[in-house]
Amino acid sequence: MPDLFRPNIARLRGYVPGEQPREKGYIKLNTNENPYPPSPLVLARLRDACSANLRLYPDPDAWALRRKLGEVFAIAPQQIMAGNGSDELLNVIIRSFASEGDKIAYPHPTYGYYKPLIDIQGAEAVPVEFGEDFALPEGLAVPGARITFLANPNAPSGTLVPYAEVAALCARIEGVLVVDEAYVDFSQGGCIQLIAEHPNAIVVRTMSKSFSLAGMRIGFAFAPVALIEGMWKVKDHYNLNRLSLVAAEAALEDIDAMRGNAARVCATRSRLCARLRGLGFYVWDSQANFVLAKLGERWANCAAAELYAQLKERRILVRYFAAPPRLADCLRISVGTDAEIAALLAALKELSSV
Ligand SMILES: Cc1ncc(COP(=O)(O)O)c(C=O)c1O
């Protein structure tokens, strides 16, 4: 039988997201979800929204939501696109700005979904290696790149590039700069003001992490009006469902709930980093809701893959990346509740003395 697929799709391995276990009872520290529930206002509004109105299509413009976002971030609704998770917006961006064969640059290692999206489009991925400290790599301004992605804070390192460096990069590159700020609410950073100063800047955010709404699939792109207008031609018309729109608006109305949860996560993160270092891990300074921990000498008898498996046996899930090689001796650990982190640390302590 002839191969029915486009050659680049036939070649593609496909993105493998972090495990969502089918059984209950795991401490889930593997996909950077928020351990705390969303605002009670979100849940109340969702209950009310489960009505006969669900027979109607949602607002294709997400207008009420974009107006609220505009108020919160002091920008015009016309500079905002809402998406079915920020993943959808990354996809819209690639389809809007890169043709087959065009270069798309990003520092590496970073969020693993950029590469499959680039491959699906048939564009050329140009990864530029981060140094050991995950500072912005010199060579990231790749000549001719139509798009440059920068996850900031970066995943899986949690490290943050300062605003001035991001702005300088944006001024230097030829195509669009996409600053993916999925984890920004756990950081001291934020680049939304870039879009006022740079016609080629796009900032992408999500409600999956800080707003505890990964299950609702809500993301935002902030960009100059001309870019949003062009991207509008590419997005699915009813990309956000009615319930997601309701949840997103309610979450913004009670934004203090998000800020409170983010502050708790950051406090737990500090303790987690200190304890992991005490247990013999090298931990990069994280400004996200996860940390990247590299096994030090004390773990010489235990590979990271083995440690991941031992934790899983104890029903604690963390993220292990078999590739690239520089991550093969690391674990990425999402910041859970204090009780979850205490259980993780107790398990690691026990395993370190085996
Ligand atoms: C850097 C980064 N960007 C985007 C996403 C996707 O987020 P969303 O749930 O909004 O699709 C993730 C999810 O883990 C991420 O780590």
- Candidates 3.40.640.10, 3.20.20.370, 3.30.565.10, 3.10.50.30; correct CATH number of 40-254? 3.40.640.10
Our separate counts of H helices and E strands in the chain read: 12, 12
Q: How far is the CA of 351 from the centre of ligand 1 (A)?
A: 31
- CATH class as words, domain 7-37+257-352: alpha beta
Q: Is the CB of 212 under 6 A from ligand 1?
A: no
Rounded percentage of the chain residues whose pLDDT exceeds 70: 99
Q: Token digits for 336?
A: 């859970």
Q: What is the rounded average pLDDT of the residues 225-244?
A: 98
Q: Is the CB of 87 under 6 A from ligand 1?
A: yes
Mutation test of ligand 1: which of 84, 86, 286 has the most ligand atoms closer than 8 Å to its C-beta? 86
The whole-number pLDDT of residue 3 equals 87
Q: Is the CB of 154 under 6 A from ligand 1?
A: no
Contact 221, 81 (CB under 8 A): yes
- Parallel, antiparallel, or unpaired for β 290-295 and 330-334? antiparallel
The whole-number pLDDT of residue 242 equals 98
Ligand 1: nearest atom to the Cα of 90: 4
Give per-residue pLDDT as tens, 47-68: 999 998 999 999 999 999 999 9
Q: Which amino acid is at 96?
A: S
The whole-number pLDDT of residue 126 equals 98
Global confidence as pTM: 0.97
The whole-number pLDDT of residue 354 equals 65
Mutation test of ligand 1: which of 20, 34, 108, 111 has the most ligand atoms closer than 8 Å to its C-beta? 111
Helices (H), 241-325: 242-253, 255-278, 304-313
Ligand 1: nearest atom to the Cα of 206: 10
Q: Token digits for 223?
A: 């960009």
User: In the Cβ-directed half-sphere of 307, how many Cα atoms lie within 13 Å?
Assistant: 33
Residue 352 CA to residue 276 CA, distance in Å, equals 11
Annotated domain spans of the chain: 7-37+257-352, 40-254
